[in-house]
Amino acid sequence: MALSTTHIISIVLTLLIIMSLGVLSGRKVKNAADFNTGGKSAGALLVAGIITGTLIGGSSTIGTAELGFNYGLSAWWFTLGASLGCLLLALIYARPVRRSECTTIQEIISTEYGKTAGLVTSILTAIGIVLNIVAQILAANALLGSMFGMNPFWCSAISVIIMVCYVLFGGIKGSGLLGLVKLGLLYMATVACGLLAIKMHGGLAEFYASLPKVQYMNMFARGFGTDFGVGLNVALGVISTQTYIQAVLVGRSNHEAVKGCLFAATLTPPIGFFSLFVGMYMHIYFPEIAAAEAFPSFILHFLPAPLAGIALATLLIAVVGTGSGMALGCGTIISNDIYKNFINRNADGKQLLLVSRLIILLTLVLSAAFTLGNLGSAILSWGSMSMGLRAVVLLAPMTTALFLPGKIHPTAAISSSVIGVLVMLLGRGLPLPFDTLFLGLLASIIILLADFLLGKKR
């Protein structure tokens, strides 16, 4: 990308402001409770900021524009699935999760099924989270590399520094504050670019007339199993992700928590809608570019330099915000469910805060290390597995723990997670027209259902 001095100044200033807000948000954090649940004092808007700050990232913007470049409307399924996940969280899971008075999904599971179940699900979930962070760092590296021409090492270092400032100091409330700032910037960038693309091409009717309808005007262009599967995969992943459960717990009341989830469900789809039209516009007028460059290239071509710099910095923040939110979830899981249960049962709030921050830092550094060399390109393909892996490990046992207490044997709960993951991974070698997440989830549900029916018979 050809960046002018104005572009660079605008990018750097935007990033410095965001990073400074992240550092300043940590002034009131004194212990693990402040860091992980923010004292359970947040209003609906802050709850929505925590959710969207992690949920709306590179896949919702750059990735959606890339898929829109190649397939059109079917690119919308990622953000539609994210919205569906927030809706399910609000209507079904928010109140039972808050009623459990647990801090993590693993704590919900271990309270019902024992510490072994909590340990197994913590380890499997941490692996899935690391894969997701790796994918985000790779996306950030690609954006930084294309903008500044830096080598992967320095791109990774800068990505980690931004992520550290985003979440390490302020914890869940800091993540929510920056999530709201990020959401506002993303709305300005995506809506402005999307409307500009639609206007420059002559309106929605012209898009319909200019592109092959079967491929670009079809919500299931890649097949129902693939496209709807993406949406359902994301929806189930939202319910099964620690960061979004923490967001529910931060709310000062059930009403505020539910309302925050509903706000997030409403705010997410427009980001994807306008991003995919940017991708389609670039396909029509610049078909020779790489699809992944559609959104940043549009910004550089058609926005004034100061606004383009802010928009490019916002895309970078969108990517690192997702990675840092995942790292926050990983830190909470390991400090609460592994360190406190198996290493130091007498740890106080300050000790747990220190451990959480060290785990976040270690997770980010380790993830960045995986992006270097040949291993990074292999792990990029595993990024799509991350959300599915978390759903297979956690969704079914968490649901039975919340809604069927005392009805499932602990051995069945552990088996459902382990066997579900094995089935999902083995299924990836088969030519299936849908995501293997659903195979793993089906196996997990069958195990728990069989145990429930046998328990009733006993």
- Average pLDDT, integer, range 294-305: 89
pLDDT band at 378 (very low <50, low <70, confident <90, very high): very low
Span 397-411, pLDDT tens digits: 999 999 999 999 999
**Among the listed residues 73, 400, 39, the one whose alpha carbon sits nearest the alpha carbon of residue 249:** 39
Asked if the model's pLDDT at residue 188 lies above 60, the reply is: yes
pLDDT at 55: 85
Asked, for residue 143, whether it belongs to a domain, the answer is: yes
pLDDT band at 39 (very low <50, low <70, confident <90, very high): low
Span 222-248, pLDDT tens digits: 888 888 888 888 899 889 888 899 889
Asked, for residue 451, whether it belongs to a domain, the answer is: no
Asked, for residue 458, whether it belongs to a domain, the answer is: no
- Average pLDDT, integer, range 195-210: 93
pLDDT at 379: 44
Asked if the model's pLDDT at residue 163 lies above 60, the reply is: yes
Asked, for residue 455, whether it belongs to a domain, the answer is: no
* Total structural domains within the chain: 1
Asked, for residue 427, whether it belongs to a domain, the answer is: no
Q: Which of 22-31, 336-345, 366-375 has the highest mean pLDDT?
A: 336-345
CA-to-CA dists, residue 449 to 110, 269, 383, 419, 425, angstroms: 19, 34, 30, 14, 22
- What whole-number distance in Å separates Cα of residue 178 and Cα of residue 24? 11
Asked, for residue 444, whether it belongs to a domain, the answer is: no
Of residues 436 and 414, the one with the higher pLDDT is 414
Asked, for residue 398, whether it belongs to a domain, the answer is: no
Where in the sequence is the domain holding 46, given as residue range(s)?
5-384
Give the sign of the dihedral formed by CA 324, CA 330, CA 336, CA 340.
negative
Half-sphere exposure of 229 (CA within 13 A, CB side): 18
CATH number at residue 372: 1.20.1730.10
Residue 395 CB partners (closer than 8 Å, separation 6+): 236, 239, 240, 441, 444
Asked if the model's pLDDT at residue 26 lies above 70, the reply is: no
Q: Which of 273-277, 278-282, 334-338 has the lowest mean pLDDT?
A: 334-338
Span 68-82, pLDDT tens digits: 999 999 999 989 999
pLDDT at 375: 55
Asked, for residue 241, whether it belongs to a domain, the answer is: yes
Average pLDDT, the chain: 86
Cα 109 off chain centre by? 22
